[in-house]
A and B are shown apart, each in its own frame.
Chain A
């Protein structure tokens, strides 16, 4: 088990453009599954390649269990990277592919053979030894790539977009496999993804990156309940935003004043954020304002309403039964659950 620490990690490819990775500080916990999440081009894969030793950082440091590993070549780091497009060696059999790392370590042939068989069992592809990579489906290739990495018993496992090339049902299988192997072997695992759902479902902790900079490093639910900026909340999607002024646990907006004990800021200009599930219709009380229903959709498991509140429109996700209670154009009381309101600082000016 290895703790990975990134400090001030920076990578500049081209002096004319902004850094691909900018002053990144991150403590990746030992034995945990950490996601590097962000839109494409945000520096996730670059960060991963620097950890693996395949790219040299421009500045900053990477350490495993407190010792800097920058001067250690990739083959001796014990950080194995599995690429997005698997990259099985095309001219080798599956057994040769999986055994590659052991062969490089000059492990005895017999032992390689036994361990390859064990690995094929682990990834649930027994008997695949003599096939060639091109005879395998994408999902199978992915598992072989995983087996090839795991056989060398890495201290740190790095997975680049492990699920993005797979079909929906294979994705679930692979996700479970990664989770299971990770828990069983307890390997410190970092995976890169652009899909917030994937990160939320799979990771113990998520590091969200925009433009090479760390935005928030937290447990998955924190990104929904207490995102640190409007941009972060927008990336996770679905949230209502109402600009206002925050003071003394209350936020004053153009549509009224709301109690909001939970906040990322102390006071001043701020944004009220509330997820559609925390908006209720029809029951007057504290934190309520009158609104007019503009449209609604019945989805089956739930119903989604769009409601106008003065000059603002919010979305409410409610019990499906409510479609029978309200019609478009109705005036209804709209309530924001004060414990679900999260006050964020105003959107950054440069965005």
Chain B
């Protein structure tokens, strides 16, 4: 690397520019793949969403697909549902993750084992978790039968709908379960790097445990919590398989709705499917931008 930089410097480039060029060249293969596959797909999708689909004779650009979906009550309800799923699950997961990380922070015997258990479900695929939620919380699931057995409800049919339900409880349970360790591991790392001294200062100055957490620890870890939850929010907003398995038939989560329109026998529904995909992409991008902004501010302070 050093040798290469020096040789490039000989061509009249400044050392900084030379280093930048070297990095660009080294990254080129990865960037090319991303550009072709990801940006290519995105551009094609965007064109389709504007009604450009020469294969079936649509050659004009228009915003018809967007005006259809934005005036469609079903789409609006899907959007609200998807936002509810992403927001609620992220919020609950963040709170529980911070609480778990706080509990896991002090050194104790067997800590490594507990930490292992804590992060174990990071490796379990979402689908497996979804099946677990089905087995546990569906009308004929384990929890429902146990509740019946304990006499809490008369029959499994009396169990409140938690899977394929309009409030998306099953989906949220699955996301919360899966995302707690993801956010938790990040928060724990930040907690350990921040150390307990700031808290000690606060306690010494007269803050009780809760005040020290609320006024000192939380603001210190907040940028990390926000960064982690924004990633989770963007993911849960755009993920397909969990709402597809555990979601209700109406309204459907946006990714499910988009996929179903896309696979519709009526090819004319494709622009709408792509328009929905674009909405999801825009939401995710906004989240990523927010993430970058927050994390940059965090790095600066």
Listed in ascending order, the chain A residues whose CB lies under 8 Å from chain B are: 49, 52-54, 73-76, 79-81, 83, 85, 87, 89-91, 100-101, 103-105, 134, 148-149, 152, 158
Contact = CB atoms under 8 A, between A and B. Distances in A.
A81 B201 contact: yes
A54 B220 contact: no
Contacts of A148: 205
A19 to B, nearest CB: 18
B301 A91 contact: yes
Nearest to B223: A91
B200 interface: yes
A240 B220 CA distance: 53
A81 B166 CA distance: 54
Given A54-B200, A75-B203, A81-B201, A104 B216 contact: no
A80 B205 contact: yes
Nearest to B195: A87
A271 B292 CA distance: 69
Interface residues of B, number: 17
B208 A83 contact: no
A192 to B, nearest CB: 14
A131 B15 CA distance: 37
Given A91-B301, A100-B215, A74 B197 contact: no
Contacts of B110: none
B41 interface: no
Contacts of B204: 52-54, 74-75, 79-81, 149, 158
Contact of B207 (A49, A52, A104): A104
B206 interface: yes
Given A87-B198, A89-B216, A54 B205 contact: no
A52 B219 CA distance: 24
A134 B202 CA distance: 19
B73 interface: no
A29 to B, nearest CB: 22
Nearest to A145: B201
Interface in B179-221: 197-198, 200-208, 211, 215-216, 219-220
Contact of A83 (B201, B203, B206, B211): B201
Max chain A C-beta neighbours (<10 A), residue from B202, B203, B207: B203
Given A101-B205, A104-B207, 6 more contacts: A80-B205, A83-B197, A83-B200, A91-B301, A104-B202, A104-B211
A87 B199 CA distance: 10
A39 B9 CA distance: 51
A80 B200 CA distance: 10
Nearest to A55: B200
A87 B197 contact: yes
Contact of A87 (B201, B206, B208, B211): B201
A103 B207 CA distance: 9
A329 B245 CA distance: 98
20 contacts: A49-B200, A53-B203, A54-B200, A54-B203, A54-B204, A73-B203, A74-B203, A74-B204, A75-B205, A75-B208, A75-B211, A79-B204, A80-B204, A83-B197, A83-B201, A100-B205, A101-B205, A101-B207, A105-B206, A149-B205
B219 A91 contact: yes
Interface in B261-286: none
A142 to B, nearest CB: 14
